[in-house]
Structure formats: structure tokens, C-alpha cells
């Protein structure tokens, strides 16, 4: 990438060697609906369509959507939006989901996004990719400070503020649960390091799942550079898991639209 690609403003062509992998295979049982979670609407557009729109505005070279639950409906929605689809036939965790995308990924840098996180602005993702590229990191994560971090993974940092490990809420100790720096689930990875490490992830956790977050600890243990971007805008990393979350997102989205119109 040239210097223009590393500016802080999103570019229509500046991230052509970036692949966005969007996780959209889960059912989302906490929504209390038969509809796949990513198909629920926010301001007249599905959650996953918002994420794909952000990728388009960022200027990524490729968007890959990992599908599973209600595969046909999700594919019918995202393919007209220039997305490619890969199947996660069994929901075995985020690490497994990203690994399913490996055959389709063409970019040197992979950004991992959640299909139920519609409020992330392209400016934040541009900062993520720019930091990742400038520092030649193996991985760069996005974190946010949250007053009530319940349910979110925690970002563990060293004395210099560098990311050391990500611990899922359900696996965290009481001391770790007191940490307010939360994992957004948004990352940039060097493609080769990502898939090499994913092949060595083990389901050694309470859910028996393959966690993408374990890749971070592997890279740290190898002495690879792992960077962190911290945002103060909690709404930008808001995931929609329940009807209450969706209602909150609707309110925040309306406020953003009103502010942008002024």
C-alpha cells in the first residue's frame, strides 16, 4: 500500500488487499425469534447489510460472509450486495467460523467483523487497518471502555498497554471481570499468521468451542507484534443479541442520523 492508503479517511480503493470476513452463521436464540439474528432490521436494513455497507464504504477488496443458520435466506440477502458466502455447517465457535472462510480469502490482511454489529463506522475500521499496516502487526484488535462490561470478553494488557490476551466473560476470573476494557470482536490479522494459528486452536474452554481470541495469545507467545485500537464510542462496537439491544441500536442510529443531517 502507498502512503495515501494509510490516511485516516476511508478510501474507495485504499484497502483493495483487505478481505472482510463477516460472521453471520449463528441462530441468535436470545432474540426470541425464528429469524436468523443477522436478518433482523435496523432502520429498514438488515443488521448484516449494515455491516456490508460499512465494508463497501471502507473500500475493502473482498467481503466474505460466513453463513450457517438459515443459510439460504442469508445468502439471498448478501449475495446481491457483492458478498461471497462460505458455509459453517456446525457452529463450533468464532475460530472455527473464520477457519471455514480460509479457502475463499484472497486478501493479505483479514478484518473479522460480526454480522450483528451494525453501528461500526468505516472511520474506526480505517484506523484499525491503518494501525495494523503501519506497525506491521500480526494482529490488531479493537477495544472499548465500557462501564458495565458484563457478557463481553476482556482485553488483558501489559504495563505498556499492549494487548496480551483476551478472556471470554464466562471463562474470566472475578479479577478479570472487573476489567472495563472489552473485546469488540473486531480484528485485523495478517492472513498467514491467522490461519496458521487457527489450525492449532483447541476447544479448551467451558463451551467446547474454538475461540478466535486464542489466536491472540498464540501470537503474543511467539513474540509477534499485537496492537490495540481503543475507542471511546461504545455504540460503534455494540452487538445486537436481544430485542433490547436492537431497540437501543435503533435509538443510537436515529441520533447519529440526526447529528449527520445537521
The domains found in the chain, sorted by start residue, are: 15-261 (3.90.550.10)
Q: Which residue has the cell 478510501?
A: 11
pLDDT at 207 > cutoff 90: no
Which range has the worst mean pLDDT, 8-12, 67-71, 157-161?
8-12
pLDDT, residue 77, reads 97
Across the range 186-192, mean pLDDT stands at: 97
Output the CA torsion sign for 64, 231, 57, 262.
positive
pLDDT, residue 203, reads 92
pLDDT at 12 > cutoff 60: no
Name the 3-class secondary structure at 142.
strand
Q: Would you place residue 9 in the very low, low, confident or very high pLDDT band (cuts 50, 70, 90)?
A: very low
Name the 3-class secondary structure at 28.
coil
pLDDT at 136 > cutoff 60: yes
Residues annotated as catalytic (active site), given as ranges: 30
pLDDT, residue 161, reads 75
Which range has the worst mean pLDDT, 1-15, 167-181, 235-249?
1-15
With CA atoms as reference, report the closest residue to 7 among 118, 121, 133, 176. Answer: 133
pLDDT at 11 > cutoff 50: no
Across the range 105-125, mean pLDDT stands at: 97
Whole-angstrom Cα distance, residue 33 to residue 51?
21
Phi-psi region of 168 (alpha: psi -120 to 50; beta: other; left: phi over 0): beta
Between helix 213-221 and helix 191-198 the angle, nearest 10°, is: 100
Which range has the worst mean pLDDT, 54-68, 126-140, 197-211?
197-211
With CA atoms as reference, report the closest residue to 225 among 160, 181, 172, 143. Answer: 160
pLDDT at 53 > cutoff 50: yes
Whole-angstrom Cα distance, residue 143 to residue 226?
13
Across the range 61-65, mean pLDDT stands at: 98
With CA atoms as reference, report the closest residue to 48 among 32, 71, 16. Answer: 71
pLDDT, residue 14, reads 66
Q: What is the mean pLDDT of the chain?
A: 91
Q: Which three cell numbers stand for residue 232?
A: 471511546
Share of the chain above pLDDT 70, in %: 95
pLDDT at 10 > cutoff 80: no
Across the range 121-148, mean pLDDT stands at: 95
The CA–CA distances, whole Å, from 125 to 17, 103, 143 equal: 14, 24, 12
Across the range 217-233, mean pLDDT stands at: 92
| Tally of helices (H runs) and strands (E runs) in the chain | 8, 11
Other CB atoms within a 10 A radius of the CB of residue 34 amount to 7
Across the range 234-248, mean pLDDT stands at: 94
Residues 6+ apart with CB under 8 A from 25: 66, 67, 68, 69, 88, 91, 97
Whole-angstrom Cα distance, residue 234 to residue 212?
22
Amino acid at each position: 500500500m502507498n502512503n495515501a492508503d494509510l490516511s485516516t479517511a476511508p478510501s474507495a480503493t485504499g484497502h483493495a488487499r483487505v478481505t472482510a470476513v463477516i460472521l453471520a452463521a449463528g441462530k441468535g436464540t436470545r432474540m426470541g425469534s425464528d429469524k436468523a439474528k443477522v436478518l433482523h432490521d435496523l432502520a429498514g436494513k438488515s443488521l448484516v447489510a449494515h455491516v456490508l455497507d460499512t465494508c463497501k464504504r471502507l473500500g475493502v477488496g473482498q467481503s466474505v460472509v460466513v453463513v450457517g443458520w438459515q443459510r439460504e435466506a442469508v445468502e439471498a440477502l448478501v449475495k446481491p450486495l457483492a458478498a461471497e458466502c462460505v458455509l459453517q455447517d456446525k457452529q463450533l465457535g468464532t475460530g472455527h467460523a473464520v477457519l471455514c472462510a480460509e479457502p475463499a480469502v484472497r486478501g493479505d490482511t483479514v478484518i473479522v467483523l460480526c454480522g450483528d454489529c451494525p453501528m461500526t463506522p468505516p472511520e474506526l475500521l480505517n484506523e484499525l487497518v491503518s494501525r495494523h499496516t503501519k506497525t506491521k502487526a500480526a494482529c490488531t484488535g479493537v477495544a472499548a471502555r465500557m462501564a458495565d462490561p458484563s457478557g463481553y470478553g476482556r482485553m488483558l494488557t501489559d504495563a505498556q498497554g499492549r494487548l496480551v490476551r483476551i478472556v471470554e466473560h464466562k471463562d474470566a476470573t472475578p479479577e478479570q471481570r472487573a476489567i472495563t476494557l472489552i473485546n469488540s470482536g473486531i480484528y485485523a490479522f495478517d492472513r498467514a499468521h491467522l490461519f496458521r494459528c487457527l489450525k492449532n486452536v483447541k476447544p479448551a474452554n467451558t463451551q467446547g468451542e474454538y475461540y478466535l481470541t486464542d489466536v491472540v495469545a498464540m501470537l503474543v507467545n511467539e513474540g509477534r507484534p499485537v496492537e490495540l485500537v481503543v475507542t471511546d464510542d461504545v455504540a460503534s462496537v455494540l452487538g445486537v443479541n436481544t430485542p433490547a439491544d436492537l431497540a437501543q441500536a435503533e435509538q443510537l442510529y436515529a441520533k447519529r442520523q440526526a447529528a449527520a443531517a445537521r
